Amino acid sequence: MSERALRGTRLGATSYETDRGIDLAPRQTVEYACTNGHRFEVPFSVEAEIPTVWECRFCGSEALLLNGDEPEEKKAKPARTHWDMLMERRTREELEEVLAERLAVLRSGRMNIAVHPRDSRKSA
Residue partners of 67: CB distance under 8 A and separation at least 6:
31
User: What per-residue confidence (pLDDT) applies to 46?
Assistant: 92
pTM given for the model: 0.44
Q: What pLDDT digit, counting tens, does each position of 60-109 carry?
A: 899 999 886 666 777 888 899 999 999 999 999 999 999 999 999 888 88
Is 76 known to sit in a ligand binding site?
A: no
Cα separation, 35 vs 50, whole angstroms: 19
Is 38 known to sit in a ligand binding site?
A: yes
Is 35 known to sit in a ligand binding site?
A: no
Is 34 known to sit in a ligand binding site?
A: yes
Q: What pLDDT digit, counting tens, does each position of 57-74 carry?
A: 889 899 999 886 666 777
CA distances from 86 to 35, 62, 78, 80 (A): 42, 38, 16, 10
Residue 32 has pLDDT above 90, yes or no: yes
User: What per-residue confidence (pLDDT) applies to 15?
Assistant: 75
Mean of pLDDT values over 49-58: 90
Report phi then psi at 64, rounded to 5. -105, 150
User: What per-residue confidence (pLDDT) applies to 118?
Assistant: 59
